[in-house]
Amino acid sequence: GEDVEQSLFLSVREGDSSVINCTYTDSSSTYLYWYKQEPGAGLQLLTYIFSNMDMKQDQRLTVLLNKKDKHLSLRIADTQTGDSAIYFCAESPILTGGGNKLTFGTGTQLKVEL
């Protein structure tokens, strides 16, 4: 089955690094995603990682994948107040019939304090 879990809250100080964690259950997932949702806004794709990779870096964002433990993390370097938002981890399991869907975690609310 598909289940994605995240911690609900994270508070960091401006300038520090933030690490948001996620565990997933479906080992067939080919891609794993991180989306950001600001208050009253839609879902913004931040980054994604292919399941055969261990790490992906994109400017201030670093994604680490431990496929054995089904654990995904998103590190945000030099966190800014503009990074305050809800961050969703999502897996994309392989579906019979060739379709596509995302299974989302509960979201982690990141609060950046001055």
Sign of CA dihedral 16, 57, 66, 111: positive
Binding pattern to another protein, positions 66-95, x when CB under 8 A? ----------------------x---xxxx
How far apart CA 41 and CA 72 sit, in angstroms, is 24
Q: Does 109 bind another protein (CB under 8 A)?
A: no
For another protein, which stretch binds (CB under 8 A), given 16-24, 38-46, 56-64, 73-81?
Answer: 38-46
Nearer to another protein, 6 or 18 (CB): 6
Q: Spell out where the chain has E strands.
A: 4-6, 9-13, 18-24, 31-37, 43-50, 55-58, 61-66, 71-76, 85-92, 103-104, 108-113
Does the protein bind another protein through residue 39 (CB under 8 A)? no
- Alpha-carbon distance values, 13 to 19, 49, 73 (Å): 12, 27, 19
CB of 58 to another protein, least distance (A): 14
Would you state the structure tokens that stand for residue 38, as one six-digit string? 């600001």
Number of amino acids touching another protein (CB under 8 A): 27
Interface region with another protein, contact rule CB under 8 A, candidates 15-23, 41-49, 52-60, 67-75: 41-49
For another protein, the binding residues (CB under 8 A) are 29-31, 33, 35, 41-45, 48, 88, 92-95, 97-107
